[in-house]
């Protein structure tokens, strides 16, 4: 997005703000802001379409953009940034996120540190809207971290030296595009391979002809036969694969539990789970869980999910959607708790608005910057 169209979008956001409960419609039909009771949280948001560098192909879909809503929360002259990213399969949209955010009255909260209470309030307004809640949660963490003048990994007591390497995603594509993406992935120490079509083995063989780095495999629910899946897991282990993500449909719990029991590779839940109560449901059927802020309603519950999974002896993976560095860096604050990380969503878009985490020699490197660790650059 060029600067002029960005400013136009920003102007539209003023309309979105004015649709909150703290606003009213003037006689002329123009939204105007009603004065907010002194000292409460001020929520603003605007739609921001993410442009993908490559068409994103999965076993069941393909797209070139991702709808997104950018959020700010302010109090006493300090602003926190947040974001909702809405890949279509999650069922949220710019309209649903805008509608949910407009329905919130966060001005009732004078203390941004009441994160638990604010989540209870948001859940009382509507049960779902997870990405919209994540946007508020991320902005709340950025805001409170800035007030404390510390990054969240420090507030949580996590050692940034323990951040894992992130994988870099190779989508389902033609041989020439797969080769191009493997070349682009040279700085990364793990490659994530999307699977679920007939040519899965060919894709792995192409990658193996170019590099020896470990791979992990995301099937996105694409497999249907447990026998073939087990055979594939054995073959993939020989090919240097570290784990399998969401092999079967999320409803196929018996098949998944059987595969987890027999597979030489850990089986990680992704589409199967969203929030904290789902971690217990995943235990037994899966070896680990893939936590994403857009599913978990943000950092607050993501931390609890990671802690519970570890306590239950499960692997923890941190993932993301296609997002700007805002949400990806927020997720990375948790990454010292993760066995695996797939935090490359910001690298897949062409119009990032933020500077945040860095990937150095394939490893996640957190900035020592208060809050979620990002700086607005456009």
Could you tell me which residues come within 8 angstroms of residue 358 by beta carbon, excluding any fewer than 6 positions away? 365, 367
User: Residue 278 or 355: which CB sits closer to Mg ion?
Assistant: 278
Single out the segment in contact with Mg ion by CB under 5 A; choices: 40-48, 230-238, 263-271, 309-317.
263-271
342 binds Mg ion (CB under 5 A): no
Single out the segment in contact with Mg ion by CB under 5 A; choices: 37-45, 197-205, 264-272, 295-303.
264-272
User: Residue 83 or 245: which CB sits closer to Mg ion?
Assistant: 245
| Residue 288 CB, nearest approach to Mg ion (Å) | 12
270 binds Mg ion (CB under 5 A): yes
Which one, of 159, 82, 115, lies nearest residue 329 by Cα? 82
| Residue 271 CB, nearest approach to Mg ion (Å) | 7
Catalogue the E-assigned strands of the chain. 23-25, 31-33, 42-47, 50-57, 62-66, 68-75, 78-85, 167-170, 190-194, 215-218, 241-245, 267-269, 288-292, 315-319, 340-341, 354-355, 358-360, 363-365, 375-376
User: Residue 43 or 289: which CB sits closer to Mg ion?
Assistant: 289
User: Residue 291 or 364: which CB sits closer to Mg ion?
Assistant: 291
255 binds Mg ion (CB under 5 A): no
CA–CA distances in Å: residue 143 to residues 68, 117, 130, 138, 223: 20, 16, 20, 9, 42
User: Residue 92 or 218: which CB sits closer to Mg ion?
Assistant: 218
3-state secondary structure of 13: helix
- Determine how β-strand 354-355 pairs with β-strand 375-376: antiparallel
**Angle subtended at Cα 239 by Cα 236 and Cα 242, rounded to the nearest 5 degrees:** 65
Contact mark string toward Mg ion, 202..241, x via CB under 5 A: ----------------x-----------------------
User: Residue 68 or 245: which CB sits closer to Mg ion?
Assistant: 245
352 binds Mg ion (CB under 5 A): no
The answer to whether 20 and 104 have CB atoms below 8 angstroms apart is: yes
The answer to whether 218 and 193 have CB atoms below 8 angstroms apart is: yes
344 binds Mg ion (CB under 5 A): no
| Residue 34 CB, nearest approach to Mg ion (Å) | 43
| Residue 308 CB, nearest approach to Mg ion (Å) | 20
Could you tell me which residues come within 8 angstroms of residue 64 by beta carbon, excluding any fewer than 6 positions away? 51, 52, 55, 56
| Residue 245 CB, nearest approach to Mg ion (Å) | 5
| Residue 250 CB, nearest approach to Mg ion (Å) | 11
Single out the segment in contact with Mg ion by CB under 5 A; choices: 80-88, 152-160, 191-199, 268-276.
268-276
| Residue 294 CB, nearest approach to Mg ion (Å) | 12
The answer to whether 338 and 306 have CB atoms below 8 angstroms apart is: yes
| Residue 290 CB, nearest approach to Mg ion (Å) | 6
Which one, of 66, 79, 137, 76, lies nearest residue 104 by Cα? 137
User: Per CB under 5 A, which of residues 288..327 are in contact with Mg ion?
Assistant: none
Nearest residue to Mg ion, scored by beta-carbon proximity: 270
Single out the segment in contact with Mg ion by CB under 5 A; choices: 138-146, 255-263, 266-274, 364-372.
266-274
User: Residue 289 or 330: which CB sits closer to Mg ion?
Assistant: 289
User: Residue 185 or 318: which CB sits closer to Mg ion?
Assistant: 318
| Residue 209 CB, nearest approach to Mg ion (Å) | 25
| Partner residues linked to 56 by β-bridges | 63
| Residue 154 CB, nearest approach to Mg ion (Å) | 29
CA–CA distances in Å: residue 106 to residues 121, 176, 278, 320: 9, 50, 28, 26
Q: What is the dihedral of CA 15, 20, 22, 25, to 10 degrees?
A: 50
Q: Which residues are at the interface with Mg ion (CB under 5 A)? A: 218, 245, 270
């Amino acid at each position: 997005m060029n600067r002029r169209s960005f400013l136009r979008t920003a102007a539209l956001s003023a309309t979105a703000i004015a649709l909150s409960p703290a606003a009213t419609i003037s006689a002329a039909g123009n939204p105007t802001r009603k004065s907010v009771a002194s000292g409460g949280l001020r929520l603003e948001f605007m739609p921001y379409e993410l442009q993908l560098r490559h068409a994103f192909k999965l076993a069941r879909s393909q797209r070139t953009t991702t709808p997104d809503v950018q959020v700010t929360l302010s109090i006493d002259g300090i602003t926190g940034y947040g974001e909702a990213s809405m890949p279509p399969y999650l069922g949220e949209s710019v309209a649903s996120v805008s509608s949910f955010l407009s329905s919130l009255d966060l001005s009732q909260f004078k203390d941004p540190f009441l994160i638990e209470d604010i989540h209870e309030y948001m859940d009382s307004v509507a049960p779902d809207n997870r990405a919209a809640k994540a946007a508020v949660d991320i902005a709340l963490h950025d805001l409170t971290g800035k007030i404390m003048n510390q990054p969240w990994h420090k507030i949580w007591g996590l050692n940034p030296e323990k951040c894992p390497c992130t994988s870099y995603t190779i989508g389902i594509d033609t041989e020439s595009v797969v080769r191009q993406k493997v070349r682009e992935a040279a700085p990364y120490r793990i490659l994530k391979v999307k699977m679920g079509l007939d040519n899965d083995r060919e894709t792995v063989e192409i990658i193996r002809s170019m590099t020896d780095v470990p791979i992990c495999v995301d099937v996105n629910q694409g497999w249907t036969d447990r026998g073939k899946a087990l055979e594939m897991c054995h073959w993939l282990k020989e090919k240097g694969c570290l784990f399998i993500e969401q092999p079967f449909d999320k409803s196929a719990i018996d098949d998944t539990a059987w595969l987890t029991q027999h597979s030489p590779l850990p089986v990680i839940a992704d589409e199967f789970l969203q929030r904290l109560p789902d971690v217990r449901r995943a235990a037994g059927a899966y070896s680990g869980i893939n936590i994403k802020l857009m599913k978990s309603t943000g950092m607050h519950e993501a931390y609890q999910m990671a802690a519970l999974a570890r306590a239950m002896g499960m692997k923890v993976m941190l993932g993301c959607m296609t997002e700007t560095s805002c949400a990806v860096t927020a997720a990375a604050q948790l990454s010292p708790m993760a066995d695996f990380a797939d935090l490359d969503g910001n690298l897949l878009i062409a119009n990032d608005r933020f500077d945040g985490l860095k990937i150095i020699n394939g490893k996640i490197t957190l900035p020592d910057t208060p809050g979620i660790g990002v700086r607005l650059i456009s």
